[in-house]
Amino acid sequence: MESASVSAVLFAHDLNKVSNFYAQALGMGFTRGDEHHVILNCRGFNLVVHQIPHHLADGIVFEHPPRRRAEGAIRLNFPVQNITETRRLARSMGGEVDSKPPSWAEPNANVFLGYDPEGNVFKVSEHP
């Protein structure tokens, strides 16, 4: 899994659910994967979704909808083609994209926070 490009690793309880969310709802391209990880690409940035080992993952319980894990030190930001479609897809796949910009952004800002099916927070902005 060597990479010469910038990447981030996102540890997931459910590898397939989380990697499908980022691929379908946020439009990331599938690069490669196996039963332990999936590499997705967005404009040269690789997101490595890595399966938490099952003996550890079995003890993790998620609320429905998942509680946002906004206290993380890193938030991923994604350009998307269409916010409305991204919001619809995110909701259909167990995540969410807010309908209003965050309180720190201008009211007419083109940025929205959201979360994936496991509660990981991200930001999207529309760039057709």
> Is residue 1 scored above 80 in pLDDT?
no
> Is residue 80 scored above 70 in pLDDT?
yes
> Superfamily assignment of 7-58+68-126 in CATH?
2,3-Dihydroxybiphenyl 1,2-Dioxygenase, domain 1 (3.10.180.10)
CA 33-52-26 angle, 5° bins: 55
pTM listed for this prediction: 0.86
Confidence bin at 64 (pLDDT 50/70/90):
confident
pLDDT tens digit sequence for 82-102: 999 999 999 999 999 999 999
Give whichever of 43-57, 71-85, 88-102 has the largest mean pLDDT: 88-102
